[in-house]
Structures are given as C-alpha cells and as structure tokens.
Amino acid sequence: MRPRFQADADLNYKIVLGLRRKEPAVEFIGPLDADLISLPDPDVLKVAAAAGRILVSHDRRTMPAHFARFLRSQPSPGLIVVSQELDLGSAIDNLLLIWAATDAEEWTNRIGYVPI
C-alpha cells in the first residue's frame, strides 16, 4: 500500500497543495482537514496514527523527541521531517519519490528526513 500523509500545522501548506497538484493520487491531508490546529505535538501524533497516516512536519526541534516518546506506548505509521531550508519544489519532489518508491509499511515506527 502506498504511504498516506498527514501535514501538521507547522508544515508549509504549499507543499501539500503542490504535491496534490503534481500527483492527484497522493493522499495528503492538511492540518485543518484533521482538526490539528493548536493541538500539542503528542496529540497530533495520536491523530495521525489513528488515521494510519505518516505525519509530515518541518519541526526538527521537538517532533523527533515527541515521536520517540510516542513509540514507547504505541506504534506509528511514521514521521517525515522536511527541512525548512529546502525549496518547495525539492520538498514536493522528495515526498513524491517517497510516495512512489516505498510502501506504507516501510515507514512504520520510523522517522525520515527530507531531503533524502
């Protein structure tokens, strides 16, 4: 099964829109779609996990530690941290490559960083 993505409130929404535009088959929902705005990171991870979606974030500072703590109590579909320094086109292309070349199961309980 292909990866399904969930953007957190920290991710530049242009990445979500650009990836959807480039490949309409990608399932990538924004933070408003999942009612994530103003939720603390541990709750964001819970929502993404309950929906079976890999969380995508720019938050390199705190999200990896929250993810590690989250994994102590339950499994996760995964986390991808996108560098804020990466231009939008490259971020979109990297996520498209992840979507096209990997299976969702490969991301279970894993953290990945973009650029690849």
Q: What is the pLDDT of residues 8-28, one digit of tens each?
A: 999 999 999 999 999 999 999
pTM of the prediction? 0.96
Please report the pLDDT score of residue 4 as a whole number. 98
- Contacts by 88-97 with C-beta closer than 8 Å and gap 24+? 88/12, 88/14, 88/15, 88/18, 89/18, 90/115, 91/12, 91/15, 91/115, 92/15, 92/18, 92/19, 92/22, 95/5, 95/15, 95/19, 95/26, 95/28, 95/56, 96/19, 96/22, 96/23, 96/26
